[in-house]
Structure 1
């Protein structure tokens, strides 16, 4: 697990001070790899690398060179031993035990098709001296990030875009990304909040040849339910994935919440390593604290549980650092929980397992059960459907209105992933210069078109949307940035190629019923994980901003929104009214206020380039 930066030069007469440019960019991601640093330069490329040593500690230095090829690679290839054997049978030899050499040798043997062999998380680039080109790719889920920017002189890549902003002439807010962020709470698709910085999307590879960059999609999930998957299949496939994810030359721990996903991982990991350490975080407020359940789970498994409790002061003081680490604004309050959890875990281990992806793959979100409630109205004639929808829109805010609207509004017009903050008409109130072309339906149109083309059912369509928006835009963004900010490698065994291919064969009833989510996954582990977590109601990762916004956190949020130079983007008067109404108890506006606040703080740090720090005690004195 590491970080890297690279620059491809379109001309030998580039005005960049090449060595200084790559070294300055590399310094920005020191936290991703404090163990080692490396550089490579030639007339066409500069590579910079920061290493967090996990596998083959002695020989895993990068950039890695072999047979006139040079590679920088962030991630882990969990089937590297199997690939190594295949390559040895083809006559290749190895000088290290690292998955880095296996990956580069795979490229030497198979060129661009090497990505089809990989089981793991990765973002890598190869300079091919023979072909005079760059080839790179990002893993199929988007676990590992990769950003890029292109000018007339160069194309630059980095694991975090804070390494790229110094190469830009100016930092301009992407207005389309801002408008959609207000609904999604994250930036999606290939755009970022900075106009000139883009993302390589999950499951995509790219080639740069003769100064031209081409991007191709090499993998896309395809759901093919067949009713053949058994609970034994799920157990064995997940056990194999956990075994692969525990491979390391340093100690591995596991995150443990009160839910079933992390409990499954902790249970399987403890069977393989009975001495594994578990880590839990809590906020000390009723309804926002699952550390007692986590401790009960750890005790039942006979493993150590190390806990960290986060106060409001801790939370406030960490906000500027968290925003710096995230790059793009992310309005998910739970990111800070992962930040504190990672910092505590890093005191004890260098690698942790985490339960991201189980909900998307196995049907875990409660909103997926919505299908059974709206089902009676899904197939009514179009004319009647439209009539009911119009009546519902005119109804006052009474019980049943939401149900009628959901039942008579096409899924593609209202569902954009597991979180939705602002509706389009609300975004119109928040942003200056609202653009009708930037509505959230446009961001998901291609996803829905593909789901419709493949004939996906209601729930599978929701999963497909989540896999392409919520998962890479929010869940994996915060997981990578918060863990790497603490210089710790986060591994996600549910997001494994073999687990994905198995879960894509589940039927609707094996995923969701009217009463239960993750049906077959729960059955697979009902007699294996501690009993108290099997049927436990899903809470997600609760964070008490709803409570804290009425206290000291509210003062920080108000001042940040007022001070930030975002007047050309945000209607501050409307934003502050949302906060005031929340404080007065008129309506729970916590997530909406938080979304505006995180953009404002991001703007201060990345656009205004201010050194921001919060001291909750000073805010308390001021008030």
Structure 2
């Protein structure tokens, strides 16, 4: 796990080249073990290394066969690939996956991507023809941003390193409007106008100064064969084994849910001395430390726990927003940051359970299908009539159910989180644009699902894989772990696991009152009984409570001071906060979205100093 910056010069005789040594220091937290540079008249690389594999070698940028690479991530099948390359006559000077990746690219070109199992963003410069090839992994686990100007194209693992290269930083309004609904900026966009994202599952080339992208991986959740308990169990265990390969100590996060418990249980069988790490907040209803402790005890694993109080939570917010790059209004981010910091005291790599819900059908919202399917099968005229009735009903029990059951999925489901609906977004945003309604922004994704003939639940999974997973889950996982200089690995997000999970039938994903049906069945004898059918809670964070206390004061002050009056209707924001404090409504997530943007604006646009 590392960080890299690349500058490709379209013109080699420009007056002033970029000081890459200065800007790469902005991502030092991603790789404090070693700094390396490569300079050519056409391209410059800067690299920060966090040493995980072949500690004494593997420094980057790495040069071989007249090619130079910078690579962030891990290739878990690099030993098997190395053996195949050696059979072809390739020689190796190290035991690291970077050299394997570079040799594989030399051997197969873009076709190398089909052979890779892992997480990665990498860039290769071919000195012979002065061309560039780069790619991101299938799921988008490892980030890569870029900007293109008249004289150069620049890439970076975090966009804070690119900001000084932009003459005038402007907000991308489409991103702000979508953020207010999704709680994150949609994948492939950023909040800043000139900064873009290399799409997940894509590669790019630069030839004759022209940057071009091509998709090499598409999510396909079409059922083509039957899947058994053993299929699921074997592929998950195999993935966890691969993800434990390292020349440093590996630990695992442990919450109160089944995903992290499966990872910890299997990892514990492979290494009984493995350490597990858990975080809580000391507020009733928002603390699963007791569950984690019981789980670790039954698995005979060491469990290291921390509790984050309100004061620590508040104090950490500015630096956490800085590490994030784009705002993500997910309150659980802070817990992951503190958990990563604690784990870094003991290990250099941690395993985590991200991705299981999207692949195996784990979100509670997926199970709404069990309740509404009888209405979905009604004639359209009946559904239209019920829908109109639901819109005119007072706020009583059943109103939301009737609305959801009779509104087309593409008009209401935007992923696992929805903050402001389109109508309320008009009240909080000064420049609301009908073109950027969330249903318009997701039109292509729903069209893909329709073309693939996905059922109701699989369509929801497809939306989450293309939006929520990349925009929220993987953003906070990468940025918060890297902020603590620790490598976070996600065994469920493996292409072989995806292949098995994509073939699950509907009743293997959900049943009335249950989710992740086949996954739970497959590991019922592996995880403790109290976890097998435990309802998913997510990552409970007590902002609902704390916004009525000191956190609420900080939030209000931040909204007041941020110079966002041309973008945000502050009077409506204060109304939401007052309603929440007075216990009239739970507006915590809406308030958090507004606050997070205001804090981001102060740091990245107003350049407010961060106090560590």
TM over 0.5: yes
CA distance in 2: counterparts of 1:145 and 1:193, whole angstroms:
15
Superposed, which structure 2 residues align to 1:250-265 within 5 Å?
250-265=248-263
CA distance in 1: counterparts of 2:148 and 2:172, whole angstroms:
16
1:306 matched residue in structure 2: 304
Superposed CA offset, 1:346-390 (max 9, x none):
000000000000100100000000111111111322222222211
SS class of match (2:442): helix
1:617 matched residue in structure 2: none
* Counterpart selection for 1:100 from 93, 98, 101: 98
2:365 matched residue in structure 1: 367
2:58 matched residue in structure 1: 60
What RMSD over aligned residues (CA atoms) do the two structures have, in Å? 0.9
2:350 matched residue in structure 1: 352
Superposed CA offset, 1:205-262 (max 9, x none):
1001111111111001111224521111111111111110000000000000111100
Mapped contact 2:187–2:470 kept (Cα < 8 A):
no
2:13 matched residue in structure 1: 13
CA distance in 2: counterparts of 1:12 and 1:445, whole angstroms:
42
Mapped contact 1:281–1:307 kept (Cα < 8 A):
yes
Superposed CA offset, 1:146-200 (max 9, x none):
0001111111000000010111001111100000000000011311000000111
1:46 matched residue in structure 2: 44
Superposed, which structure 2 residues align to 1:237-252 within 5 Å?
237-252=235-250
* Counterpart selection for 2:78 from 80, 97, 101: 80
2:122 matched residue in structure 1: 124
Deviation at 1:16, TM superposition (A): 3.6
CA distance in 1: counterparts of 2:38 and 2:287, whole angstroms:
48
1:209 matched residue in structure 2: 207
Does 2:281 correspond to 1:283?
A: yes
What TM-score does the superposition give when structure 2 sets the normalisation length? 0.99
1:71 matched residue in structure 2: 69
SS class of match (2:511): coil
SS class of match (2:515): coil
1:136 matched residue in structure 2: 134
CA distance in 2: counterparts of 1:597 and 1:33, whole angstroms:
30
Deviation at 1:531, TM superposition (A): 1.2
* Counterpart selection for 1:236 from 226, 234, 252: 234
CA distance in 2: counterparts of 1:536 and 1:448, whole angstroms:
31
**Structure 1 ranges of 4+ moved more than 6 A:** none
Deviation at 1:613, TM superposition (A): 4.0
2:393 matched residue in structure 1: 395
CA distance in 1: counterparts of 2:36 and 2:351, whole angstroms:
28
CA distance in 1: counterparts of 2:406 and 2:21, whole angstroms:
56
1:618 matched residue in structure 2: none
Mapped contact 2:352–2:490 kept (Cα < 8 A):
yes
Mapped contact 1:356–1:492 kept (Cα < 8 A):
yes
* Counterpart selection for 1:270 from 259, 268, 271: 268
1:526 matched residue in structure 2: 524
CA distance in 2: counterparts of 1:240 and 1:394, whole angstroms:
53
SS class of match (2:514): coil
2:541 matched residue in structure 1: 543
Deviation at 1:50, TM superposition (A): 0.1
CA distance in 2: counterparts of 1:138 and 1:558, whole angstroms:
39
Deviation at 1:15, TM superposition (A): 4.0
In the alignment, structure 1 segments of 5+ residues that lack a partner are 615-623
Deviation at 1:85, TM superposition (A): 1.1
* Counterpart selection for 1:478 from 471, 476, 499: 476
Mapped contact 1:189–1:443 kept (Cα < 8 A):
no
SS class of match (1:582): helix
Deviation at 1:53, TM superposition (A): 0.2
Mapped contact 2:133–2:206 kept (Cα < 8 A):
yes
Mapped contact 1:33–1:487 kept (Cα < 8 A):
yes
CA distance in 1: counterparts of 2:385 and 2:212, whole angstroms:
48
CA distance in 1: counterparts of 2:610 and 2:573, whole angstroms:
21
Deviation at 1:35, TM superposition (A): 0.1
1:621 matched residue in structure 2: none
1:225 matched residue in structure 2: 223
SS class of match (1:29): helix
Does 2:566 correspond to 1:568?
A: yes
CA distance in 1: counterparts of 2:513 and 2:436, whole angstroms:
37
Deviation at 1:13, TM superposition (A): 2.6
1:323 matched residue in structure 2: 321
CA distance in 2: counterparts of 1:560 and 1:250, whole angstroms:
41
Superposed, which structure 2 residues align to 1:493-508 within 5 Å?
493-508=491-506
Superposed CA offset, 1:297-332 (max 9, x none):
111111110011000000000000100000000000
SS class of match (1:28): helix
CA distance in 2: counterparts of 1:7 and 1:543, whole angstroms:
40
Does 2:2 correspond to 1:2?
A: yes
CA distance in 1: counterparts of 2:543 and 2:341, whole angstroms:
21
CA distance in 2: counterparts of 1:263 and 1:384, whole angstroms:
45
Superposed, which structure 2 residues align to 1:167-182 within 5 Å?
167-182=165-180
2:437 matched residue in structure 1: 439
CA distance in 1: counterparts of 2:9 and 2:171, whole angstroms:
26
Mapped contact 1:226–1:506 kept (Cα < 8 A):
no
Mapped contact 1:69–1:129 kept (Cα < 8 A):
yes
CA distance in 2: counterparts of 1:582 and 1:608, whole angstroms:
28
SS class of match (1:247): coil
1:492 matched residue in structure 2: 490
What is the aligned residue count? 612
CA distance in 2: counterparts of 1:398 and 1:186, whole angstroms:
30
CA distance in 2: counterparts of 1:359 and 1:139, whole angstroms:
19
In the alignment, structure 2 segments of 5+ residues that lack a partner are none
CA distance in 2: counterparts of 1:69 and 1:227, whole angstroms:
42
CA distance in 1: counterparts of 2:229 and 2:27, whole angstroms:
42
1:427 matched residue in structure 2: 425
